Structure 1
Amino acid sequence: MTVLTIFFCGTGSNKFDVTHENFWDGELVSTLAANHAGREFAEWIVVDGPGSGNLQADDLFTKTKEYGLTGTLFGKGWEENVRHAVNIIKGKCNWQREQLTEQEYNRLKAAGIPIDDVKVEGSWFWRKYNYGERSVTQQTLQEQIIKTFRKDGVIPTQVNLVGWSRGGISCHMLANAMLNDPQLKHIPVNVFALDPVPGIGNFQDQRVRLGANVKEYVAFFARDERSKGFSCVIPQTAVGTKTSIYPMAGRHATMAGNATAAGGVPTSSSDLKTFIEPGRVVRHFAETCLKRWGVRLNKTLNLSEADLLRLTGAIASAEARYKLMHKVSYTYFTELDQGERYVSLGSKGVPFSAVKGSIYTPATGLTTSVLELAAYKHLR
């Protein structure tokens, strides 16, 4: 039995954001991935988000290209990310990087990725530059790791998906890709999503609906986000899927560990830790769910009831300061729906607080008070 966990980073985010300067204790998805105690590729992978610089292009199990700004604006590259994840699940690549180009070499080198120096061959007049050629590719090595360390066959017996922003939407896309794949449709899937936001024009069914292969869906949504184009998706789940959705104080990046007053670039060293509480609470419940889903993690918070009361109490006390975030936007423009964040329930736009009902546990949905700790007990 092998439980595979796939971590999808958000737009512009990558696996190295565990030390990103905007996050006082690391961006949550990359941090959770770094703390996984299992064997990479066999038991877990982390996938860089759209617009993050393609630092993983050399390692992917499917061919991709540099999308640049279109990755950031429109999510270009996430389809390849999903295909890569499908191939990892199956343990078989459909493309291999045998030689780096100069552009790819320079990009990886500039980003500080460990890589061999360029080899200069021939005389000065006929000089050639070898940017790295492998007799054994990264993909071949990873395939062998999968074959060696996955128990009872290459196909895992359960898949957990974790994602923030477009990484959260990528979780939806992968779950649906698995459902439509004869080899993978039988695998139970669990999802933990952080404010899944697809971006303008990206509300197709595979991004806003989930099938019966998803057994549990847990997500937190940023209550105080008002950026235009940042409408989050509360997916339509299948009958029988245990669905738990919660509001969280702060902006889109706050729950992922950005604790600044405006949910963006810190204005000072002290601003870096202005609102640490939402990130702590969400991280705790992410770790709790993953452990319950069979994941071995290092460096977990293990918050007590008293810790949670202290953190949620601090959030409630700072209500007026969180409301100041409503005037700030990642895209220069803000949008409201009856004074609230505009969200997408499936493919239908509704006000934030309209998302509730008996299909959710708790039924209070996005109106759940952060102080109501009993509403989180079933996650443990």
Structure 2
Amino acid sequence: MTALTIFFCGTGSTKFDDINANYWDGELVSTLASHHLGREFAEWIVVDGPGSGNLQADDLFTKSEEYGLSGTLFGKGWEQNVQHAINIIKGQCDWQREQLTEEEYNRLKAAGIPIEDVKVEGSWFWRKYNYGDRSVTQQALQEQIIKTFRKDGVIPTQVNLVGWSRGGISCHMLANAMFKDSELKNIPVNIFAIDPVPGIGNFQDDKVKLGPNVKEYVGFYARDERSKGFSCVIPQTATGTKTHIYPIPGRHATMAGNATSTGGVPNGAGDLKILVEPGRIVRHFAEVCLKRWGVQLDKSLNLTHADLENLGKAMVDNEAKYRLMHKYSYTYFSELDQGERYVSLGSQGVNFSAVKGAIYAPATGLTTSVLDVDSYQHIR
């Protein structure tokens, strides 16, 4: 039995953000991935977010373009991220980077490995460099890791998905892509989503609805976000899916560990550790859920009931600071919120506090009080 965990970073975020200076204790998704004790590729992968600079392009199991600003604004490239994840699940790439990169070429040369000199092609203005071919591609190496270290066959018996921002929406997209795949549709899927935000014009069914292959859905949502274009998605889940949603004070980036007073706009000097409580709670329960889903993690917070009570009281004491966040926007423009964040319940736009009811546990949904520590019993 192998449980594969896939970590989807948010827009502009990467695998290396566990040491990003904007997050006082590391960006949540990349930090969780770095604490996974299993074998990378066989038991876990982390996927860089749209608009992050394509740092993983040479290692992907499917060919990706460099989308630049369109990745940041519109999420371009996340379809390739999902296909890459599908290929990882199946343990088989559909594309390989067969040529050496400049970095690899220089490393081999410095080590005295006998390889051909770099080839220069084209005119001075349009000059290109060919560094030669790899004898073994990254993809071939990773395929072998998967074949060697996945127990009882290449196809995993369970898939866990963790994502923030467009990474959270990528979790929805991947779960739906798996359900449409005859080879993967019966694999049980668990999702931990942190403020999943698709961006303007990205509310198609594969992003806002989930099929019966998702057995448990846990979502944490930023109560104090007001940026235009940052409506989050509470997906329409299938009958039988255990669905747990929680509100947390703070903004979109606050959920992922940005503890500044403005939620990341801008990050002021000496302001990195003002509002740590929301990020602590979200990280703790991400760890709790992953362990419950069969994942071995290092460096967990292991918060006690008393710790959670103290964090809840601190958030209530800082209520005025959270309300000040409403005047800041990642996109310059703010929503006409009428006192609440506007969200997408499936494909329907509603106010934040309208998301509650018997389909959720707790039934209080996005009206749950941060002081109600017992409400977390459903995901412990």
Q: TM-score scaled to structure 1, two decimals? A: 0.94
Tell me the residue number matched to 1:217: 217
| AA partner of residue 372 (structure 2) | E
Tell me the residue number matched to 2:107: 116
Tell me the residue number matched to 1:45: 45
| AA partner of residue 96 (structure 2) | Q
- In the alignment, the residues of structure 1 paired with residue 100 and residue 140 of structure 2 have an alpha-carbon distance, to the nearest angstrom, of 16
Aligned residues of 1:120 and 1:129 also touching (Cα < 8 A): no
Aligned residues of 1:157 and 1:187 also touching (Cα < 8 A): yes
Q: Residues 122 and 215 (structure 1 numbering): CA distance in 2 closer, same or farther, change over 3 Å? A: closer
- In the alignment, the residues of structure 2 paired with residue 220 and residue 196 of structure 1 have an alpha-carbon distance, to the nearest angstrom, of 9
| AA partner of residue 281 (structure 1) | I
After TM superposition, the structure 1 stretch with the greater mean CA deviation from structure 2, 310-319 or 43-52, is 310-319
- In the alignment, the residues of structure 2 paired with residue 253 and residue 117 of structure 1 have an alpha-carbon distance, to the nearest angstrom, of 40
After TM superposition, the structure 1 stretch with the greater mean CA deviation from structure 2, 328-337 or 45-54, is 328-337
- In the alignment, the residues of structure 1 paired with residue 219 and residue 345 of structure 2 have an alpha-carbon distance, to the nearest angstrom, of 13
Tell me the residue number matched to 1:272: 272
Aligned residues of 2:3 and 2:156 also touching (Cα < 8 A): yes
The C-alpha deviation readout for 1:269-290, integer Å capped at 9, x for no partner, is 4200010110001000000000
Tell me the residue number matched to 1:363: 363
Give how far 1:133 is off: 2.5
Tell me the residue number matched to 1:147: 147
- In the alignment, the residues of structure 1 paired with residue 107 and residue 218 of structure 2 have an alpha-carbon distance, to the nearest angstrom, of 42
Tell me the residue number matched to 1:179: 179
Give how far 1:379 is off: 1.1
Tell me the residue number matched to 2:65: 65
Count of aligned positions: 371
Within 5 Å, give how 1:64-213 maps onto structure 2.
Answer: 64-100=64-100, 105=102, 116=107, 120-121=117-118, 129-131=129-131, 133-213=133-213
Q: Residues 350 and 122 (structure 1 numbering): CA distance in 2 closer, same or farther, change over 3 Å? A: closer
**Which SS does the other structure have where 2:59 is aligned?**
coil
Aligned residues of 2:362 and 2:378 also touching (Cα < 8 A): no
Tell me the residue number matched to 2:113: none
| AA partner of residue 289 (structure 1) | C
- In the alignment, the residues of structure 2 paired with residue 309 and residue 56 of structure 1 have an alpha-carbon distance, to the nearest angstrom, of 40
Within 5 Å, give how 1:286-305 maps onto structure 2.
Answer: 286-305=286-305
The C-alpha deviation readout for 1:188-211, integer Å capped at 9, x for no partner, is 000000000000000000000000
| AA partner of residue 195 (structure 2) | D
- In the alignment, the residues of structure 2 paired with residue 270 and residue 98 of structure 1 have an alpha-carbon distance, to the nearest angstrom, of 46
- In the alignment, the residues of structure 1 paired with residue 355 and residue 128 of structure 2 have an alpha-carbon distance, to the nearest angstrom, of 61
Aligned residues of 1:195 and 1:220 also touching (Cα < 8 A): yes
Q: Residues 138 and 368 (structure 1 numbering): CA distance in 2 closer, same or farther, change over 3 Å? A: same
Identity over the aligned pairs, expressed in percent? 76
Give how far 1:130 is off: 3.8
Q: Residues 255 and 281 (structure 1 numbering): CA distance in 2 closer, same or farther, change over 3 Å? A: same
Tell me the residue number matched to 1:248: 248
Give how far 1:307 is off: 1.0
Within 5 Å, give how 1:214-363 maps onto structure 2.
Answer: 214-264=214-264, 267-363=267-363
Q: TM-score scaled to structure 2, two decimals? A: 0.94
Give how far 1:129 is off: 4.2
Q: Residues 180 and 272 (structure 1 numbering): CA distance in 2 closer, same or farther, change over 3 Å? A: same
Tell me the residue number matched to 1:54: 54
Aligned residues of 2:265 and 2:328 also touching (Cα < 8 A): no
**Which SS does the other structure have where 1:247 is aligned?**
strand
Structure 1 stretches lacking a partner, 5+ long: none
- In the alignment, the residues of structure 1 paired with residue 93 and residue 233 of structure 2 have an alpha-carbon distance, to the nearest angstrom, of 31
